[in-house]
Amino acid sequence: MDDLRLGVDLGGTKIEAVVLRVGGDEPTAVARMRVPTNRAEGYEYVVAATAKLIADVAAQAGLSSPPPIGVGMPGSVTLRRADGTRSDAPLTKNSNTTCLNGRPFRSDLTRLVGHPIEFANDANCFALAEATYGAAREARVMFGVIMGTGVGGGIVFRDGGGAHAWDGAQGIAGEWGHVTLDPVGGPPCYCGRRGCIEQYLSGPAIETAYTARTGVKRSLLEIAARAADESDARATLDQVVEVFGRAIATVTNVLDPDTIVLGGGVSNLSVLYESGLQAVARWIFNDEVRTKIVKHAMGDSAGVIGAALLA
């Protein structure tokens, strides 16, 4: 089992698990399963369903016990309870599977599975997969961007031992979506602040901006398709490009990565790789942009593959 790893991608709607054979230029999936998260069933249900999926996918791979395990999920952890007291175990925070928030999911799952587990934010898993097998294989430092239902990011650096995700002193490294662009007049964010990048560049935020202009609800795909002929759709995407340029330039000025990989549904907007690159160039502290800004290569598999690589 030396070259086998088990990864779990815990999302708001589904939990996916894979047993992966690593090494070489490409990973190989030995077994793969997914089940609904059913988060409305509550905390204990999600913990038990995740543990069962780990056992089931290991059995599907013909293993009597799981190989090294990594789990990726939205959010991070804190030792501070809601009442201000300290917890002995890390508590989940900022997860879109809200029943996990304030609960010791990491320690409870590890205890139920009976094996050590490595955990990371889902954006870090995305970045790790793209740095290891995807669009940033040669990068010394890369930043992985997720622009989907929410906006997040992950940082990966490469040394003699391979690619490593960086989570930071507080576990919030790469939380690009909650950099505030307009704390006074910007749209309110669920985090309690205003003007966070997520409130401009997530799929729902773009759709909301279009509706505010037109009074009509359309999907992101519809807005993009109409941009060539409709001024409101074009103006909505122009605003996306402007914010994208400033937001990516902020990351570039601080981190100066070799490669930035874009993921999530919003990354499919072709305008980001055209006028979006020009918008970035206007705001970085240099007279040229050497950082490569590219589309993801791993698709929907990045999260679960990155989770396996944690182990």
pLDDT, tens only, 203-244? 999 999 999 999 999 999 999 999 999 999 999 999 999 999
* 129 within a domain of the structure (yes/no): no
Q: How far is CA 90 from CA 3, 107, 221, 233, in A?
A: 29, 8, 39, 44
Nearest of 119, 161, 163 to residue 144 by alpha carbon:
163
* 131 within a domain of the structure (yes/no): no
- Assess whether 198 and 114 both reside in one domain: no
> 259-263 and 141-147 as β-strands: parallel, antiparallel, unpaired?
parallel
State pTM to two decimals: 0.91
- Assess whether 35 and 162 both reside in one domain: no
What's the number of CA atoms in the CB half-sphere (13 Å) around residue 180? Answer: 14
* 130 within a domain of the structure (yes/no): no
Q: 287: domain CATH number?
A: 3.30.420.40
* 39 within a domain of the structure (yes/no): yes
- Assess whether 109 and 47 both reside in one domain: yes
Inform me whether the pLDDT recorded for 304 exceeds 80: yes
What is the model's pLDDT at position 44? 97
Confidence of residue 97 (pLDDT cuts 50, 70, 90): confident
Mean pLDDT over residues 24-43, rounded?
92
Inform me whether the pLDDT recorded for 256 exceeds 80: yes
- Measured CA to CA, the distance from residue 163 to residue 84 in angstroms comes to 36
- Measured CA to CA, the distance from residue 32 to residue 16 in angstroms comes to 8
- Assess whether 152 and 269 both reside in one domain: yes
- Count of domains for the chain: 2
- Assess whether 97 and 204 both reside in one domain: no
- Assess whether 242 and 257 both reside in one domain: yes
Inform me whether the pLDDT recorded for 7 exceeds 60: yes
CA dihedral of 119, 121, 122, 123, whole degrees rounded to 10:
-140
* 213 within a domain of the structure (yes/no): yes
- Assess whether 97 and 190 both reside in one domain: no
Q: Look at residue 152 and give its three-state secondary structure.
A: strand
- Measured CA to CA, the distance from residue 71 to residue 204 in angstroms comes to 26
- Assess whether 192 and 281 both reside in one domain: yes
- Assess whether 290 and 305 both reside in one domain: no
- Measured CA to CA, the distance from residue 282 to residue 291 in angstroms comes to 14
* 132 within a domain of the structure (yes/no): no
Confidence of residue 23 (pLDDT cuts 50, 70, 90): confident
- Assess whether 167 and 43 both reside in one domain: no
Nearest of 285, 219, 297 to residue 251 by alpha carbon:
285
- Assess whether 166 and 53 both reside in one domain: no
Note the pLDDT tens digit of each residue in 49-61: 999 999 999 999 9
- Measured CA to CA, the distance from residue 200 to residue 287 in angstroms comes to 26
- Assess whether 147 and 272 both reside in one domain: yes
Phi then psi dihedrals of residue 189, to 5 deg? -115, 150
- Measured CA to CA, the distance from residue 166 to residue 171 in angstroms comes to 9
Confidence of residue 2 (pLDDT cuts 50, 70, 90): low
* 101 within a domain of the structure (yes/no): yes
* 69 within a domain of the structure (yes/no): yes
Nearest of 65, 82, 175 to residue 120 by alpha carbon:
175
Q: What separation, in Å, do the N-terminal and C-terminal C-alpha atoms of the chain show?
A: 12
Mean pLDDT over residues 245-256, rounded?
96
Q: How far is CA 262 from CA 100, 108, 227, in A?
A: 27, 33, 21
Domain range enclosing 44: 4-124+301-310
Inform me whether the pLDDT recorded for 1 exceeds 70: no
Rg (Cα) of the chain, in Å, rounded? 20
